Amino acid sequence: MSAEVAALDAALARAGEDITLRRKAGTGANQVNIDVTCRAAVRGVSANEIVGTVTQTSSKVILSPTQILAAQWPGGLPVSTVTERTDPRIPRANDFAVIKGKQRQILFVSPIFVGGEWARCEMTVEG
């Protein structure tokens, strides 16, 4: 684990909250939720960030990859076969974050890599 990830984990342990990251798999009656609990910082958006699909009900979420990697979420492809662009472990638009019991749709995701290592994930959620 890099120093950047360790520092983020420590900050989230002090001032973050538990959320559930959710990816839906399958369709109809066969749809299942693939969940992982993550520590995250959840904040409202500022006035200058309200553009396009971002509204007053949107939130910014910052999370560490630590819990995602430990849980091997969401399962599937071996890590050796993916790239930063195709890594299924990175949350994506249309996944969900359950925050304070409310399921919210992920609109935007910005994974941050330091020295080739996934170090942080910044997301905008709505709902």
Q: What is the pLDDT of residues 6-21, one digit of tens each?
A: 999 999 999 999 999 9
What would the mean pLDDT of 44-62 be, rounded to a whole number?
70
**Residues 6+ away with beta carbon under 8 Å from 98:** 19, 20, 22, 35, 104
Chain mean pLDDT for the chain: 86
Burial status of residue 51 (CB atoms within 10 A of its CB: 0-12, 13-18, 19 or more) = exposed
What would the mean pLDDT of 99-126 be, rounded to a whole number?
93
Position 84 confidence tier, pLDDT thresholds 50, 70, 90: low
User: Over pLDDT 70: what percentage of the chain?
Assistant: 81
Q: Would you state the pLDDT for residue 57?
A: 73
Position 116 confidence tier, pLDDT thresholds 50, 70, 90: confident
Does 49 have pLDDT greater than 70? no
What would the mean pLDDT of 48-66 be, rounded to a whole number?
76
Tokens representing 38 are 């993550």
For domain 3-126, say whether CATH 1.10.287 is its number.
no
